[in-house]
C-alpha cells in the first residue's frame, strides 16, 4: 500500500533534530545539548489552573478559536509586552502549539508554485509544510552576515512568485534577532506588496540585550505572528500556541484550524490563561538564569577557539566546527557522542546552510554545561 501514499509526504523526512536525538537518547550517562526544552518546571500557578480545570470538568470543546477569556488575555499580553493591538473576537487563534499555527498559516496562504523566502540556517519545521503545499522554499545564505536576515539579503530573492517571507526571531538555531531599524526597513520595502510575513516569535520573551520588537508593529496588515507558551512558560507539553493576524487573514486560517483540530485542549487553555495573566512575567526568572548561562558558554566556547555568534535571544549557540576536523556536521556530532557522551545537533538539520556547524542548547543546569563543555573541549583539543 505504500505506493499509494502522497508522494509529497514520502519525500519529506523526520526533523534532523529529532532524528539525531532519537538515535542517541538511549545512551547511558549522556549529556544532551539537543532538544529545545526549558529545564525549568511549569510554574505552580499554571499547573494548579490545569488541575482545577479537570476537577471542575472543564473538559469539553471550546470555541474553535479558543475561549474568549484566553483570547482576551493573549491580546492583552502581546499589547503590554510588544505594543501589538489585536481584536480578541476575530484576530487571534489559540492553537496546538506554535507548530500547528505555522502549519495552518502556510496551508491558508500558499498555492501551487508559490515561493517562500527563508533564512538559512533555519529551524526545520517550515520547509516540509511548504513543500507539501506544492510551494518552493527559497533559502537565503545568511552565514556571512552574522546570521542576520536583513533587507539587503532578502531583496535579490523576491520574484513574482514570492508569496511569503519567514522571519523567525529570535532565531532557532542561531539565537540571533533583528533590530527595530532592520525590521522597519523590511516592512517599509514590503508595504503594499502582495507578500505575507510569517513572523515566528516563539522566543520573544527570551531576549537578552534589547527588548523584542515585532515586525507587526510596522506591517500588521501583511503579517501573521506566531507565538506561544512553550518557551516563555516552560509549557512544551501543554501545546498552546497563538496566531495573531488581521481579521481578513485570520478568518480564513480559522477554517483550516477548525478542520484540523477543532480547538486547542480545553484544560491547557485554562492553564494558559493563568500563564498570560497571573504569570505574565514568569519568563523573567528563567531569562535571568539563561543570561548567566549564555555568558558562561560563550566564554568557554571562545576560550576553546571556537567560532560562535553570541545569541541575542533563545537558548542556543550555533557553533562552527573547526576546519582541522575533517568531518561533516552529522559525523562530528556522532563521533562526539561516541567519544565523550555529549550530544549536540548537527548543523545539517537546519538546511544545507547549517552544514559545518552544530547547535548547542544551554537550557540545562550550569553543572551540566560545565561537565559537557569540558568534554567538548577535550574532544576538540584531541582532534585538532
Question: How confident is the model at residue 15, as a pLDDT?
Answer: 81
Q: Domain 44-276 class?
A: alpha beta
Question: How confident is the model at residue 211, as a pLDDT?
Answer: 96
C-alpha cell belonging to residue 168:
523567525
Condensed to tens digits (0 to 9), the pLDDT of residues 335-346 reads 999 999 999 999
What band does 20 get if pLDDT is binned at 50, 70 and 90? Answer: confident
Strand blocks (E) in the chain: 31-32, 92-95, 115-120, 136-141, 162-168, 196-200, 223-228, 241-244, 307-308, 316-320, 342-343, 345-346, 357-361
Peptide bond into 170 cis (omega under 30): yes
Question: How confident is the model at residue 364, as a pLDDT?
Answer: 95
Condensed to tens digits (0 to 9), the pLDDT of residues 282-317 reads 999 999 999 999 999 999 999 999 999 999 999 999
Question: How confident is the model at residue 35, as a pLDDT?
Answer: 84
Give the Å distances, CA to CA, from 180 to 16, 210, 213, 363.
32, 10, 6, 27
Residues 6+ apart with CB under 8 A from 231: 36, 38, 202, 203, 205, 206, 314
Condensed to tens digits (0 to 9), the pLDDT of residues 68-104 reads 999 999 999 999 999 999 999 999 999 999 999 999 9
* Total length of the chain: 384
In the predicted structure, residue 151 carries a pLDDT above the cut 80: yes
For the chain, residues classed under CATH 3.40.640.10 are 44-276
- The predicted model scores a pTM of 0.96
Question: How confident is the model at residue 327, as a pLDDT?
Answer: 95
Q: What are phi and psi of 78, to 5 degrees?
A: -70, -25
Residues 6+ apart with CB under 8 A from 158: 117, 195
In the predicted structure, residue 175 carries a pLDDT above the cut 80: yes
What band does 206 get if pLDDT is binned at 50, 70 and 90? Answer: very high
In the predicted structure, residue 21 carries a pLDDT above the cut 90: no
* Mean pLDDT calculated for residue range 205-214: 97
C-alpha cell belonging to residue 222:
501583511
C-alpha cell belonging to residue 236:
512544551
In the predicted structure, residue 157 carries a pLDDT above the cut 80: yes
* CATH ID of 2-42+282-383, from 3.90.1150.10, 3.10.180.10, 3.20.20.60, 3.40.630.10: 3.90.1150.10
For the chain, residues classed under CATH 3.90.1150.10 are 2-42+282-383
Amino acid at each position: 500500500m505504500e505506493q499509494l501514499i502522497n508522494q509529497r509526504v514520502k519525500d519529506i523526512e523526520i526533523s534532523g533534530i529529532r532524528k539525531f536525538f532519537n538515535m542517541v537518547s538511549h545512551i547511558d550517562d549522556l549529556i544532551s545539548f539537543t532538544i529545545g526544552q526549558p529545564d525549568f518546571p511549569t510554574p505552580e500557578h499554571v499547573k494548579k489552573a490545569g488541575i482545577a480545570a479537570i476537577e471542575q470538568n472543564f473538559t469539553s470543546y471550546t470555541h474553535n478559536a479558543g475561549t474568549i477569556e484566553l483570547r482576551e488575555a493573549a491580546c492583552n499580553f502581546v499589547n503590554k509586552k510588544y505594543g501589538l493591538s489585536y481584536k480578541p473576537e476575530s484576530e487571534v487563534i489559540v492553537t496546538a502549539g506554535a507548530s500547528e499555527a505555522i502549519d495552518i498559516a502556510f496551508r491558508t496562504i500558499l498555492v501551487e508554485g508559490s515561493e517562500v523566502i527563508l533564512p538559512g540556517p533555519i529551524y526545520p519545521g517550515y520547509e516540509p509544510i511548504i513543500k507539501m503545499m506544492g510551494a518552493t522554499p527559497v533559502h537565503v545564505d545568511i552565514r556571512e552576515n552574522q546570521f542576520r536576515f536583513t533587507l539587503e539579503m532578502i531583496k535579490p530573492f523576491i520574484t513574482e512568485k514570492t508569496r511569503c517571507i519567514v522571519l523567525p526571531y529570535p532565531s532557532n538555531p542561531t539565537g540571533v534577532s533583528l533590530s527595530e531599524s532592520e525590521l522597519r526597513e523590511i516592512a517599509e520595502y514590503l508595504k503594499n506588496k502582495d507578500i505575507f510575513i510569517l513572523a515566528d516569535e516563539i522566543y520573544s520573551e527570551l531576549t537578552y540585550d534589547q527588548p523584542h520588537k515585532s515586525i507587526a508593529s510596522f506591517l500588521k496588515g501583511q503579517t501573521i505572528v506566531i507565538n506561544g507558551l512553550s518557551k516563555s512558560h516552560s509549557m512544551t507539553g501543554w501545546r498552546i500556541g497563538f496566531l495573531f493576524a488581521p481579521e481578513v487573514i485570520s478568518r480564513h486560517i480559522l477554517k483550516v484550524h477548525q478542520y484540523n483540530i477543532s480547538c486547542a485542549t480545553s484544560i491547557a487553555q485554562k492553564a494558559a490563561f493563568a500563564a498570560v495573566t497571573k504569570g505574565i512575567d514568569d519568563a523573567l526568572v528563567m531569562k535571568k538564569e539563561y543570561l548567566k548561562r549564555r555568558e558562561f558558554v560563550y566564554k568557554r566556547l571562545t576560550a576553546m577557539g571556537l567560532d560562535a555568534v553570541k545569541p541575542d535571544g533563545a537558548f542556543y549557540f550555533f557553533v562552527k566546527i573547526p576546519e582541522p576536523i575533517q568531518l561533516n556536521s552529522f559525523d562530528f556530532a556522532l563521533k562526539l557522542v561516541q567519544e565523550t557522551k555529549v550530544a549536540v545537533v548537527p548543523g545539517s538539520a537546519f538546511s544545507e546552510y547549517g552544514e559545518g556547524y552544530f547547535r548547542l542548547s544551554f537550557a540545562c543546569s550550569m553543572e551540566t554545561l560545565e561537565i559537557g563543555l569540558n568534554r567538548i573541549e577535550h574532544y576538540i583539543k584531541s582532534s585538532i
